[in-house]
A and B are shown apart, each in its own frame.
Chain A
Amino acid sequence: MASLRERAIDVYNWFEQRLGLAAPAIEAAEHEVPSNTSSWWYVFGSAATVILVLQVVTGILLALVYSPSASHAWSSLEFLDHNVKLGWFLRAMHGWGSDFMIAIVLIHMMQVFLFGAYKFPRELTWIIGVFLLLLTLGMAFTGQVLRFDQDAYWGLGIGASIVSRVPVVGGALVDLMLGGPIIAGPTLSRFFTLHVFVIPGILLALVGLHLLMVLRLGINDWPMPGRLVNKKTYVQEYHKLAEQTGIPFVPDAAWKDAIFSAAIILAIMACAAWFGPFGPTGQPDPTIIQTAPKPDFAFLWIYAVLAYLPPSLETPVLFIAPVLVIGGMLLLPLVSGEGEKHWSRRPVAVLMVAVIAVTLGAFTSLAMYTPWSPIMNAWTSDPIPVGDLKDRTPLEREGALVLQNKQCRNCHSIGGAGGMRGPALDSVASHMTEDQIIRQVLQGGGNMPAYGNALNPAETTALVHFLLTLRGGNLSPAIDASRKLVSSSEQSPSQAPPKSSAPAAP
């Protein structure tokens, strides 16, 4: 056995003499890090790197089967899902890996921000990290396009529409993005090139730089309140700390990274096995317009923001906000490269993280059920609740029919069913008078189209009479106080509801 061992060492030495890689690699692995960095908070960067490797491997495996052509991409995905052994699982791993990647990168960034790790001398590491985040999001978007289904097709349309709003060069940029006059074969080829060659190339190079800099500058020491970063003394202090409390990164600190990475990979596998691959949804056939396209998880918040921005603000916000946000992230370490690192003495930083997280979370959760989108088939699928039709006059029931037929339900819910674009109608008559309802229906306003052209007088009358019965159980109807004055002064019986104690209409 000894001779076998010796021969193995000989082989190793033969390669090492020529390559000379092992010695510096071992040295790098065993470099001393301050013992306080051996923490479960320091595992996210390595986990992101491991997921990157997983994405590269699964991506290459998918590329063995995937056909990057507009006419066959979708069917090659169906083929992967159903005809290739474990193809569905590889697709699921790649898809879930992408979601985990974005989550881990964001958590990593948040941790680095809260620990002040972007401060001197690690400013450039942070700046490269910002580009890595953007590239990761770029991978997610281009990857979604490669899943060439309805969502991908219309997602490209949304992308082109956004790009077209760039002043002056918008049209040329759209052409560059699509590679032709429409979303078609050349478009998919471009996004395939971006997803498979361009972005991964830059991503891997920058990850290499990012890691080299972590090695060169040393991992950020655990921040202590009151221990301020000073450009003149920091490096010296850090080296002293590393000397005094230093432990070899491998194995003393790295075991936590290894365990966390293994857990994340297992989690990705579990999600992939349990939930399966994403899509593909319907075929990328633009003539099938019965679709409600939605972006992937990471971009849902943008989808929501675009729904809520007032039209006049949309273009400026679309182009100024990203510049400010990305510029702010890039400038952050240059502006505040020194000083306090500990989160307990940086309330603004903590507040920013909280506000950003809550904002993104809120917009994402809104985009999960898109209250701003009309529900296109609500008018034929959601009936009027029986209770709202009981003991109604024929005219009022006719009005309920008009309400259904004119697609009001696509935007307005009754009994919890229907669109949420407009207000629910369950108690509309308790806060709008007859005149107000008529005006609103015929002339629209407040984000409601005018229906004057789509309703004849008989339909309008019936519809309004039905709406007047919707008083949320039995709330008092809205009344117009001035009307009552006029009618009482004319001594004529009013059409308005008889209850004099009813509150005035808003």
Chain B
Amino acid sequence: MNSSEPLSPGDQAAATELATNAKSAGHTRRVFLFKLSLLLNGAVGAILAVPIIGYLLGPAMKKSSSEDSWIKLGPLGDFPEGETRLVNFRNPMTTPWDGQTGDIPCWVRHITGNNFQVFAINCAHLGCPVRWFAQSKLFLCPCHGGAYYEDGSRASGPPERGLFEYEHKIVAGSLMISAGKMPTLAACNCSQPKLTQIQPRATTSAASFGEQRPNEGARPRSNSWPA
């Protein structure tokens, strides 16, 4: 690598020069080969990166719809009319080492007849488990105090929207929901809120505290309190 150093003068200068010429010719060849080897390694690295990145991104590449499937929650008789009950189901996609984490709870609200609503346990704010209070007809979140009305619409607190709702259907006298993925704001496996309730749905816009009274939207419901 030190062929570029100045030649030492002397008797053997010519011989040295000859040797150096041969050496430098060898040097340029080796530099070329080294660059070639770098190129080769770069190419191998790029090929190697494909399976590695594919493996790493695997979980994000799945279509979310493929993770949802219909799960039986139980016969309709398990859900008395007018009540909201906690129901656990085994997530359709689990690994044998998931243990208890594969059991997912949800809130089933039987409105009337075949009218149901099935809410995810996760608060729409940051995913903490909401609890149902039948007496005050509210879902309350223990983390930051998000509150939802019985139909899952936002009542107060930091959530921007109502509770996540699972798509559901009734097959052969059993309530089934489409579930499989943790509901979050980005990818909720929940259906868009449907008009299952009798009263007009409160608009749950993401209004800030300052802009409007948060519960303005809930006004219609208070007009219809039971006599």
**Which residues from chain A sit less than 8 Å from chain B, CB to CB?**
69-72, 153-154, 157-158, 160-166, 170-176, 178-187, 283-287, 289-293, 303, 306-307, 309-314, 372-374, 376, 379, 405-408, 410-411, 421, 442-457
Tell whether, in the assembled complex, residue B138 and residue A454 are in contact, meaning their CB atoms are under 8 Å apart: yes
Q: Which parts of B104-129 form the interface with A (CB within 8 Å)?
A: 104-105, 121-122, 125-129
Interface centre among A175, A183, A443 (most CB of B within 10 A): A175
Known contacts A178-B182, A310-B210, A449-B218: A455-B128 contact under CB 8 Å: no
Known contacts A160-B184, A286-B121, A449-B149: A69-B97 contact under CB 8 Å: yes
**Minimum CB–CB distance for B98 against chain A, Å:** 4
Tell whether, in the assembled complex, residue B222 and residue A450 are in contact, meaning their CB atoms are under 8 Å apart: yes
Tell whether, in the assembled complex, residue A454 and residue B136 are in contact, meaning their CB atoms are under 8 Å apart: yes
**Minimum CB–CB distance for A406 against chain B, Å:** 5
**CA distance in complex: A454, B210 (Å):** 26
Tell whether, in the assembled complex, residue B104 and residue A314 are in contact, meaning their CB atoms are under 8 Å apart: no
Tell whether, in the assembled complex, residue B182 and residue A182 are in contact, meaning their CB atoms are under 8 Å apart: yes
Tell whether, in the assembled complex, residue A449 and residue B222 are in contact, meaning their CB atoms are under 8 Å apart: no
Tell whether, in the assembled complex, residue B138 and residue A286 are in contact, meaning their CB atoms are under 8 Å apart: no
**CA distance in complex: A452, B223 (Å):** 7
**CA distance in complex: A303, B145 (Å):** 12
Complex interface: chain A residues within 8 A of B226 (CB): 456
Complex interface: chain B residues within 8 A of A309 (CB): 158
**CA distance in complex: A165, B206 (Å):** 14
Binds A, one of B41-49, B60-68, B70-78: B60-68
Tell whether, in the assembled complex, residue B182 and residue A176 are in contact, meaning their CB atoms are under 8 Å apart: no
**CA distance in complex: A176, B61 (Å):** 9
Complex interface: chain B residues within 8 A of A451 (CB): 136, 222
Tell whether, in the assembled complex, residue A372 and residue B184 are in contact, meaning their CB atoms are under 8 Å apart: no
Tell whether, in the assembled complex, residue B101 and residue A314 are in contact, meaning their CB atoms are under 8 Å apart: no
Complex interface: chain A residues within 8 A of B180 (CB): 181-182
**A186 nearest CB neighbor, chain B only:** B95
**Minimum CB–CB distance for A183 against chain B, Å:** 6
25 interchain pairs (CB within 8 A)? A70-B100, A71-B98, A71-B100, A160-B184, A170-B184, A173-B186, A178-B182, A181-B91, A182-B101, A186-B95, A289-B121, A303-B143, A310-B210, A373-B142, A374-B142, A376-B131, A407-B138, A448-B156, A452-B218, A453-B149, A453-B224, A454-B135, A454-B136, A456-B226, A457-B227
**B133 nearest CB neighbor, chain A only:** A407
Partner of B160, one of A291, A311, A373: A311
**CA distance in complex: A186, B93 (Å):** 12
Complex interface: chain A residues within 8 A of B34 (CB): none
Known contacts A170-B186, A176-B59, A449-B138: A444-B104 contact under CB 8 Å: no
Tell whether, in the assembled complex, residue A162 and residue B126 are in contact, meaning their CB atoms are under 8 Å apart: yes
Partner of A442, one of B67, B138, B225: B225
Known contacts A175-B60, A176-B57, A182-B102: A450-B127 contact under CB 8 Å: no
B203 part of interface (Cβ distance < 8 Å)? no
Tell whether, in the assembled complex, residue A158 and residue B127 are in contact, meaning their CB atoms are under 8 Å apart: yes
Tell whether, in the assembled complex, residue B144 and residue A373 are in contact, meaning their CB atoms are under 8 Å apart: yes
Partner of B137, one of A160, A408, A442, A453: A453
Question: A175-B59, A186-B95 are known contacts; what are 8 more A-B pairs with Cβ within 8 Å?
Answer: A69-B99, A154-B129, A171-B186, A183-B182, A184-B94, A379-B135, A407-B133, A444-B215
Tell whether, in the assembled complex, residue B97 and residue A157 are in contact, meaning their CB atoms are under 8 Å apart: no
**CA distance in complex: A182, B188 (Å):** 11
B147 part of interface (Cβ distance < 8 Å)? yes
Interface centre among B126, B130, B157 (most CB of A within 10 A): B126
Known contacts A314-B160, A452-B221: A447-B209 contact under CB 8 Å: yes
Tell whether, in the assembled complex, residue A286 and residue B158 are in contact, meaning their CB atoms are under 8 Å apart: no
Complex interface: chain A residues within 8 A of B150 (CB): 453
**CA distance in complex: A172, B63 (Å):** 10
Interface centre among A186, A286, A303, A442 (most CB of B within 10 A): A286
B216 part of interface (Cβ distance < 8 Å)? yes
**CA distance in complex: A314, B159 (Å):** 10
Tell whether, in the assembled complex, residue B137 and residue A454 are in contact, meaning their CB atoms are under 8 Å apart: yes
Complex interface: chain A residues within 8 A of B182 (CB): 157, 160, 174, 178, 181-183
**B142 nearest CB neighbor, chain A only:** A292
Tell whether, in the assembled complex, residue B158 and residue A314 are in contact, meaning their CB atoms are under 8 Å apart: yes
B88 part of interface (Cβ distance < 8 Å)? yes
Tell whether, in the assembled complex, residue A283 and residue B127 are in contact, meaning their CB atoms are under 8 Å apart: no
**CA distance in complex: A96, B185 (Å):** 35
B83 part of interface (Cβ distance < 8 Å)? no
B193 part of interface (Cβ distance < 8 Å)? no
B103 part of interface (Cβ distance < 8 Å)? yes
Complex interface: chain B residues within 8 A of A289 (CB): 86, 105, 121, 129-131
**B137 nearest CB neighbor, chain A only:** A454
Q: Which parts of B170-211 form the interface with A (CB within 8 Å)?
A: 180-182, 184-187, 206-211
Partner of A286, one of B104, B137, B142, B160: B104
**B124 nearest CB neighbor, chain A only:** A161
